[in-house]
Structure 1
Amino acid sequence: MPVDFDLTAEQKRLKYTSREFAREVLRPASILADALVDPQEAFQAMRPVYRQAAAQGMHTMFLPKQYGGGGASNVDFLVAIEELCAVDPGFPTILLVNGLALMPLLWFGTEEQREKWIGRAAADTSGDFLAGWAVSERGGTANFDHPSPRAGIQLMAEHDRSSGQYVVNGEKHWPCNSGGWDLRGADVSLCVVRTDRARGGKEGLSAILVERGTAGIEYEVIDKMAHRTCQNVTMTFRDVRVPVENLVAAGDGDLLINRNFTWSAPIASMAAVGLARGAYDFTLKWAKTYTGGGSSPIIHHQAVGNLLADIAAKIEAGRYLCWKTAHYMDQFDGQGHALGGMNKSFCGDLMQSVVTDCMRVVGVNALDRKFPMAKFYREAAVFSLYDAGNLAMQRRRTWGVMADRTFSPDTFVDGDPLQFARSMEGYGTLGERG
């Protein structure tokens, strides 16, 4: 069978339906929201867009049909994400984080947890349901799998056996969606916690489902320079009580983190590609009409033509690596950790340079806020930093897999399965290896 990069007829329909939604619904709302001074007001301004997205099933399209979701493949989701992010990458992050909160229940949750939360999310067509993903902490969590219990995740969940509850204390910094539309909490937030004070990151971590309205949590919105159409908060937990049946992945929180960021890696990568493509779309039209004071459009100048050729090539290369990664994950569920890490690092870093090159073509007018280039530039800075930052977690996950004796340079070329194991964790953490 030949290598095939063709989209199916259904995927092409999804592409153009998503493009129409992005341009007609998302664009005008995101322009207004991005300009709002208050970050929570900016997030709330996107709620009508979220409602329309929910009516089309976008907010749960990646969840399995068994629980009422759309049953979309990883590749399908990327097709939609590229179109949305070409207009605004903040809003699709809301959709992505629904997945980061709920997908782990498929891998580590109980059937009761899946039916309750995935079923509830999928049943929502009005755009009310919101799920949060809380892993990052103020002190940094890149070394979540550090062998010392005093490093990495420090949000503590202690089991109170007398009440059958976990008592949670500490802080999460940067959780997305978790504050909810009204800062009273998302419907549910999946929080990575330390459940064993005496063990390191490979044994002492778990996750816990924190429901909306749970007492003892404060939410403070983070004011960001970009991705202003999604919400990030600081969550402070003070003797927060959570039922024991809300525990997920007991002692396997490290594996949950790795698998979650593997699932999201091609999505975040395609978000970067989509943003770069949005900048390229504008720049190409600009180059075909703007003369720079000369007698013909600047695209006829060799320097501009050469730079545009490089820009286009980088976007094509990034897109196909995203498709390859998503296709591999569709074939081998729960694998692709190294490929995902490579994808996220490559696209997040490369697409930032693409946007900068687009600005060079547009010239000083790129700084004028009436054009979209200034926003593209701000947004591009996000991709190497968020979703398991490229400098730390993403490259380190790739490194750990490559160091394993089972890895071969032909693994991904040949499409062979490669199961992720705990022995691949811990690379780069102080004290784990000399």
Structure 2
Amino acid sequence: MAVERLLPTPEAHELIQLTRDVADKVLTPIVDAHEKAETYPEGVFATLGEAGLLSLAYPEEFGGGGQPYEVYLQVLEELAARWAAVAVAVSVHTLACHPMMIFGTDEQKQRWLPDMLGGNMIGAYSLSEPQAGSDAAALNCKASATENGYRITGSKAWITHGGVADFYNLFARTGEGSRGISCFLVAKDTEGLSFGKPEEKMGLHAIPTTAAYYDNAFVPTERLVGAEGQGLQIAFSALDSGRLGIAAVAVGLAQAALDDAVAYAQERSAFGRKIIDHQGLGFLLADMAAAVDSARATYLDAARRRDAGLPYSRNASVAKLVATDAAMKVTTDAVQVLGGYGYTRDFRVERYMREAKITQIFEGTNQIQRLVIARSLADR
């Protein structure tokens, strides 16, 4: 069921319709096969790039779409309602463009942003390490300064689009302490960079998640983003936006589960009536709908604050927490509505349930979100 959206401009309404058309024609027909076979959807991101859907939140002067964040997130939600793995990769790509857009020099922006935003290059974020997930200050991957650049040694973990993306935002240690982290734009063909085999995940099978290994890999000085030692500031500035992306993905996933559950409840009969007409089932669906609508409202509130230039870090954490918890509950309830059929792979709801779980974990676990929210209250 298409969500009736409140959008700021007629252009935004046209953009949502374009997204639905592209998603229904390009994503929906192939999602089940690729997720089942765990194969990468070659050509999908090029198509999304040609449609202008990979750069919506960035300025037009560099090839972006110039759209408010609230519009971009609703586009992301529409993609997620068809294919969560692709939507997550789009969110990560948007996140990966943020450091260059905000902290890059004019020369760097002119050189790299047009391809990054035009869909010619797909980006990935390379922050976490095997022993340092949410604790970014504990990074060990090291960047040693040389005459013309840096030699990178160490490993990274949990990279969405690892081994496939064209560029990686690498956060590596150039000094001591939390102010000793720097950000680099690393090309996929950098000598000394290799990737592990894709993780065997519970869901999001079509997009690889890998580790990366840097064996004395050379990165030129011109690929340092921001100042040396500014890495954590860059990483954290992007993560608030990334958390909103995951919130929107979670809502799209929950909306898809709700739609499938309602459709099934309208078709299946028991005791002489459609099961949706039984109060016990109807109330369950009502709670699912309330959860989806509430989660959407939280991410839109945070996005509108971002668009208005207001502080939104706590709101982003609230949105990520509320939306992903809602997605987990709604997808689980969707399986319940379908009963035994919901537990089989003949219906998509079991996949939605598996996919929803990771949204509570990445871009900062929901326990980390609670920590961020609690600290913001204590700092008032």
TM range (shorter): over 0.9
Matched ranges for 1:380-419 at <5 A: 380-392=356-368, 394-404=369-379, 407=380
Determine the structure 2 residue equivalent to 1:419. Answer: none
- Farther-moved stretch of structure 1 (272-281 vs 72-81): 72-81
Deviations 1:287-309 (A, max 9, x none): 111014x2111011110111111
Quote the sequence identity (%): 26
Partner of 2:335: 359
Question: What letter corresponds to residue 314 of structure 2 in structure 1?
Answer: A
Question: Matches of 2:13 and 2:61 in 1, distance apart?
Answer: 25
Q: Distance in 2 between matches of 1:264 and 1:352?
A: 19
| Counterpart amino acid of residue 108 in structure 1 | F
Which aligned pairs between 1:340-359 and structure 2 lie closer than 5 A?
340-359=316-335
Q: 1:195 aligns with which of 152, 160, 174?
A: 174
| 1:97 and 2:110 correspond | no
Question: Would you say the 8 A contact 1:136–1:173 is kept in 2?
Answer: yes
Alpha-carbon distance change, 116 to 397 in structure 1, aligned in 2, over 3 angstroms: farther
1:230: how far off?
1.9
In the alignment, the residues of structure 1 paired with residue 118 and residue 247 of structure 2 have an alpha-carbon distance, to the nearest angstrom, of 29
- Spell out, residue by residue over 1:194-250, the C-alpha distance to the aligned partner (whole angstroms, 9 max, x if none): 110xx222x111111111311011112222221122221110111011111211232
After superposition, give the CA deviation of every residue in 1:339-379 in whole Å (9 maximum; x if it has no partner). 11111111111220111112211111101211111111111
Q: Is contact 1:338-1:399 (8 Å) kept?
A: no
Q: Secondary structure at the match of 2:71?
A: helix
Tell me the alpha carbon deviations over residues 48-105 of structure 1, each in whole angstroms, 9 at most, x when there is no partner.
2222211101112222112111112101111211111111110012211221111111
Q: Structure 1 pair 284/255, CA: closer, same or farther in 2 (3 Å)?
A: same
Does residue 323 (structure 1) correspond to residue 300 (structure 2)? The answer is yes
2:145 partner SS: strand
Aligned to 2:290: 313
Partner of 1:275: 253
Counterpart amino acid of 2:66? G
Q: Which residue of 2 aligns with 1:6?
A: 6
* Counterpart check, 1:106 vs 2:101: yes
Partner residue, 1:155: 141
- Secondary structure of the 2:11 match is helix
Q: Measure, in 2, the Cα distance between the counterparts of 1:178 and 1:298.
A: 44
Alpha-carbon offset, residue 121 of structure 1: 2.0
* One-letter amino acid of the structure 2 residue matched with residue 397 of structure 1: V
Q: How many residues align?
A: 373
Inter-CA distance 254–398: structure 2 relative to 1 (3 Å threshold): farther
| SS of equivalent to 1:35 | helix
Q: 1-side partners of 2:360 and 2:117: how far apart?
A: 31
Is the 8 Å Cα contact of residues 162 and 211 (structure 2) preserved in structure 1? no
TM-score normalised per structure 1: 0.82
CA contact (8 A) 2:142 2:152 kept: yes
Counterparts of 1:29-428 in structure 2, within 5 Å, are: 29-37=30-38, 42-43=39-40, 46-124=41-119, 128-145=120-137, 152-160=138-146, 163-180=147-164, 186-196=165-175, 199-201=176-178, 203-220=179-196, 221-249=198-226, 250-292=228-270, 294-332=271-309, 335-392=311-368, 394-404=369-379, 407=380
- Are the equivalent residues in 2 in contact too, given 1:217–1:235 (CA < 8 A)? yes
Is residue 50–residue 118 contact of structure 2 (8 Å, CA) maintained in 1? no
Find the counterpart in structure 2 of residue 412 from structure 1: none
Unaligned runs of 5+ in 1: 146-151, 181-185, 408-434
259 and 397 in structure 1: CA distance in 2 versus 1, 3 angstrom threshold: farther
CA distance in 1, matches of 2:118, 2:94: 15
Report if the CA contact (8 A) 1:131-1:178 is conserved.
Answer: no
2:366 counterpart letter in structure 1: N
Note the residue ranges of structure 2 that are not aligned, 5 or more in a row: none
- Kept in 2, the 8 Å contact 1:134–1:191? The answer is yes
- Structure 1 residues 194 and 395, CA, compared in 2 at 3 Å: closer, same or farther? farther
Taking the aligned partners of 1:381 and 1:91, their CA distance within structure 2 comes to 16
What secondary structure does 2:74 align onto? helix
Task: Report the CA distance between 1:144 and its aligned residue.
Answer: 1.8
CA RMSD in angstroms, aligned pairs only: 1.6
The SS at the match of 1:58 is: coil
- Identify the residue that residue 427 of structure 1 maps to in structure 2: none
CA distance in 2, matches of 1:317, 1:140: 33
Which structure carries more helix by proportion? 2
